[in-house]
Amino acid sequence: MATVQLHHVTKQFGDVTAVHDFSLEIDDGEFLVLVGPSGCGKSTLLRVVAGLEEVTSGEIYIDDRLVNHVAPKDRDVAMVFQNYALYPHMNVYDNLAFGLRMRRVARDEIDRRVRQAAEILGLADLLRRRPAQLSGGQRQRVALGRAIVREPKVFLMDEPLSNLDAKLRVEMRTELARLHQRLRVTTIYVTHDQTEAMTMGSRIVVMKDGRIQQVASPLELYEQPANLFVAGFIGSPPMNFVRGTLEPRDGDLWFAAAGISIRVPGALAGATAGLGGHPIVLGVRPEDILVDPERVRVLPDHRVEALVEVVEPLGADAFVHLLAGEQRLTARVPGRVKVRVGDRLTVAPDPDRIHLFDPATEQALSRAATSP
Amino acid sequence: MGLVSQPAPYGRPAPGRQATPHAGSTTPPPAAGRGTPSPAARPLPGRRLRPAVILRHTLAWLVGLLWIVPFLGILMSALRPQAELIHGWWQLGQVTISAENFVRAWNHPTAPMGEGIRNSLLVVVPSTVLPLLIASLAAYGFLRSRARVRTPLFALIILLLAVPQQMVAIPLFRILRDLGFINSYAGLVVTHTAWALPWMIMFLRNYFATLPREVEEAALLDGAGRLQIFWHVILPLSLPGLASAAALQLTWAWNDFFMALILLYEPTRLVATQRIPLLRGQYHVDWGILTAASVLTIAVPILVFALLQRYYVRGLIGWTLK
């Protein structure tokens, strides 16, 4: 177990900067998830930590040891690859044992560790099989086992579940989480899947174009996105965004767009003070658009008239696609709420959960700690 | 103002964008009536054969026959006694099959083929193993080295492929003579090895390049050094490629006449290919013994081909074509 520290890490490939001035400290035993769209530099960062790529500048410490010029095998890290990268010509036992043999671990110790890992991962009956004779999920487990037997300081996982089918992916997600609870090894996990990131990470790093967008716990990321990118990337269906302007009216600031007029709630008053006349982007998550008439009635300053265009029932929930003025909004309502296409509804964004973003900087306007 | 409702680049992909790659990858419809018939176009029971198909098949059979006839002649001449061959091997009035010619060729007084084949094996086996070892190491180095000389050095090796054998014959003879390698198998083995290295390095480098990089990286993280990766990962995964290279090199070295002619002239040391012309009598040509010796000599490459056919063909058309 170990801590990992990255100080101003930059990685360039020719003229392309894959990772830009990345600084982060990863705690001992933490499950850190790097998430972002493809090409955002998250895999490159993982390979830099593994030692498969050299940094262009910056420093990497594993357990307070500078490892910039340490060979991959001496960094005491284990990596799980997206396509598993098993040794095709070796059976499961040899795949698991290879790393230990290379490190000249005693034979009975190898046997003990391989059998223990096989037990944990449910591979005990498959030890004599070759990778080609295994299913995708089994291969994935062998790849994990290969990392586990080494008992490394850090696990590096590069989209380990993306080659599995949807059902298996959910199962393996749970299994990975359980494994981490049991072994408590510092883990850096790369994914482009926000669901994986949200469900597995104790902390999440959202990346875009090689830069950190936000580092936060899953809930914080969801409830207080730092900028437009994070707000749109985390959450499914994504947050509704409406472009408009801030208009002073009766001593308050109002958000105004075609067909929508909403009073800026008190919690955001501080951040918006003096921004009258400025363009602004309003963000509201689908579940924060209130449809229940009882709740809408008490929010006279936030009502929006909308036409129901499409209803997507999912069982527990339904997604209701609305047209408000010129705006398309998606609301998430309880599955039993009766809404039909063509209905005219009065809805209201929950004022406690409205986000405002500066369209120029794309940064969120911060919300006061307590809401009146 | 008031336009954006959802972040387009990271939300659901627009249907229009998804359609494009599919449109690009669709195979063009097969040109009707042309090219080899696909399984779907195969004539159904009861459907008539088209004249074009018949013509094509006839032509193919004719060309095939033309190729096989000389070989048939050799085989017939080798298997029948001299008396039956005076009026040509195609006379089928009386056909006696016997191994007599083979025995005579094998034990020939001046150029026994038995000894020739043994000598050929003594030359060819190390001439295959040695370049395989050296070339595979070099090929892996060329693939993974980050040294600046890599590219110019590789270009030089490609260039060496273009050198004709006849050009190096005289300097080669002089060098090997000065080294005392004339009339020794070692001299011929070194020559074959050197001659094989350029193509083999290129061939194996290209083969290694098809192996998944991640497997090597996994081994690197597992604590293996470059040589260990080469030995435990690259070589076992490259067995098909190595078999291809071995089959081609073995055939090439076995069939070689030119290099052997330059470097070996001690009668007991001559390899199989060198002995065939010696079996021709001064006053009359003993076709039986000549053809029997030829059959004995080509038996080895044919055996290699039969055993490693898949790898042999793959080696010729290239492993990267899949």
- DSSP symbol at A107: H
- Domains belonging to chain B, first-starting first, are 51-98 (no CATH), 112-274+299-317 (1.10.3720.10)
Instruction: Read off the pLDDT of residues A70-99 as tens digits, 9 standing for 90 and up.
Output: 999 999 999 999 999 999 999 999 999 999
Among chain B residues, the shortest Cα distance to A260 is held by B2
Chain B partners of A281 at a C-beta cutoff of 8 Å?
4
Q: Are A185 and A83 contained in the same domain?
A: yes
Residue A363: inside a domain, yes or no?
A: no
Task: Identify the CATH number of the domain in which residue A92 sits.
Answer: 3.40.50.300
Beta strands A31-35; A186-191: pairing state:
parallel
Q: Does a structural domain hold residue A362?
A: no
| Interchain CB contact of B211 with A (< 8 Å) | no
Residue A369 forms part of a structural domain: no
Q: What is the pLDDT of residue A1?
A: 61
Q: Residue A153, Cα to own-chain centre: how many angstroms?
A: 23
Asked whether residue A333 is domain-assigned, the answer is yes
Reported as a single tens digit per residue, the pLDDT across B83-97 is 777 777 887 777 788
Q: How close A327 comes to chain B (CA, Å)? A: 6
Dihedral through CA B298, CA B300, CA B306, CA B311, nearest 10?
A: -110
Residue among A19, A28, A24, A33 nearest A161 (CA): A33
Are A266 and A179 contained in the same domain? no
Same structural domain, A199 and A271: no
Residues A163, A98: one domain?
Answer: yes
Q: The domain spanning residue A278 has which CATH number?
A: 2.40.50.140
Pick from A204, A232, A260: which residue ends a domain? A232
Interface probe, candidates B222, B231, B239, chain A, greatest A C-beta count within 10 A: B222
Nearest to B243 by CA among B193, B313, B174: B313
Chosen from A81, A245, A330 to mutate, greatest number of chain B CBs within 10 A: A81
Q: How much is the pLDDT for B201?
A: 95
User: Are B10 and A238 an interchain contact pair (Cβ–Cβ within 8 Å)?
Assistant: yes
Task: Tell me which H or E stretch contains A22.
Answer: strand A16-26
CB contact under 8 A, A99 and B217: no
Alpha helices (H) along chain A:
42-50, 92-102, 107-121, 136-149, 166-183, 194-200, 218-223, 228-233, 269-272, 293-297
Whether A233 and chain B come into contact, CB under 8 Å, resolves to yes
Going by C-alpha positions, the residue among A197, A160, A188 that lies closest to residue A80 is A160
Nearest to B5 among A52, A85, A241 (CB): A241
Is A296 domain-assigned? yes
Q: Are residues A55 and A195 in the same domain?
A: yes
Pairing mode of beta strands A31-35, A289-290: unpaired
**Statement to judge: residues A276 and A343 lie in one domain:** yes
- Using one digit for the tens of pLDDT, what is the confidence trace for A44-66? 999 999 999 999 999 999 999 99
Beta carbons of A14 and A40 less than 8 angstroms apart: no
Tell me the percentage of chain A whose pLDDT exceeds 90.
71
The whole-angstrom distance between A274's CA and the closest CA on chain B is 20
Is residue A371 situated within a structural domain? no
DSSP A326-363: TEEEEEEEETTS---TT-EEEEEE-GGG-EEE-TTT-B
Q: Do A259 and B2 touch (CB under 8 A)?
A: yes
Q: Which domain holds residue A16?
A: 4-232
Is residue B266 less than 8 Å (CB to CB) from chain A? no
| Shared-domain flag, residues A209 and A347 | no
Q: Which of B2, B219, B223 sits opposite A242 (nearest CB)?
A: B2
Average pLDDT on A173-184 reads: 90
Do A255 and A349 have their domain in common? yes
pLDDT tens sequence for chain B (322 residues): 444 444 433 333 344 434 333 443 444 444 444 444 444 445 455 556 788 899 999 999 999 999 999 888 898 888 888 777 777 788 777 778 888 889 989 998 888 999 999 999 999 999 999 999 999 999 999 999 888 999 999 999 989 888 898 888 999 999 999 999 999 999 999 999 999 999 999 999 999 999 999 999 999 999 999 999 999 999 999 988 999 999 999 999 999 999 999 999 898 999 999 999 888 877 778 888 899 999 999 999 989 888 888 887 777 776 655 4
CA–CA dist A279, A359 (Å, integer): 7
Q: How many CB pairs under 8 A join A and B?
A: 107
User: How crowded is the C-beta side of B282, counted as CA atoms within 13 Å?
Assistant: 1
| Least confident interval from A69-83, A227-241, A355-369 | A355-369
Residue B232 sits at the chain A interface (C-beta within 8 Å): yes
Q: Is the pLDDT of residue A37 over 60?
A: yes
The answer to whether A242 faces chain B, any CB pair under 8 Å, is yes
Name the residue among A264, A236, A247 with its Cα closest to residue A355: A264
Mean predicted lDDT score pLDDT of chain A? 91
Residue type, B289: I
Hey, is the C-beta of B6 within 8 angstroms of any chain A C-beta?
A: yes
ipTM of the complex: 0.83
The closest alpha carbon to A95, from A50, A147, A156, belongs to A147
**Residue A190: closest CA among A354, A23, A32:** A32
Q: Nearest chain B residue to A36 by CA: give it.
A: B10
Handedness of CA B300, B301, B302, B306 (dihedral sign): positive
Q: Is B43 helix (H, G, I), strand (E, B) or coil?
A: coil
Q: Please tell me whether residues A120 and A52 are part of one structural domain.
A: yes
Taking the Cβ of residue B146 and every Cβ of chain A, the question of whether any pair is shorter than 8 Å is answered with no
Same domain, A252 and A224: no
How is residue B101 written in tokens?
Answer: 């010619």
Q: How high is the pLDDT of residue A279?
A: 92
Same domain, A224 and A284: no
| Identity of residue A139 | R
Classify residue A39: in a domain, yes or no. yes
pLDDT tens profile A278-334: 899 999 999 999 998 888 999 888 899 999 999 999 989 999 999 998 889 999 999
pLDDT at A22 over 60: yes
Q: Is A96 on the interface with B (CB under 8 A)?
A: no
Domain end residue (candidates: A192, A210, A232): A232
CB < 8 Å from B in window 166-225 of A: none
Q: How far is CA A34 from the centre of its chain?
A: 7
Within 8 A of A260 by CB-CB distance, chain B residues are 2
Q: Give yes or no for A327 touching B (CB within 8 A).
A: yes
Contact flag A150-B3 (C-beta cutoff 8 Å): no
Task: Establish whether the linkage from the previous residue to A237 is cis, with ω within 30° of 0.
Answer: yes
pLDDT in tens, A183-210: 999 999 999 999 899 999 899 999 999 9
- Three-state secondary-structure class, residue A150: coil
Task: Report CB contact under 8 Å: A241, B236.
Answer: no
Residue identified by tokens 């193993």 is: B129
Tally the domains of chain A: 2
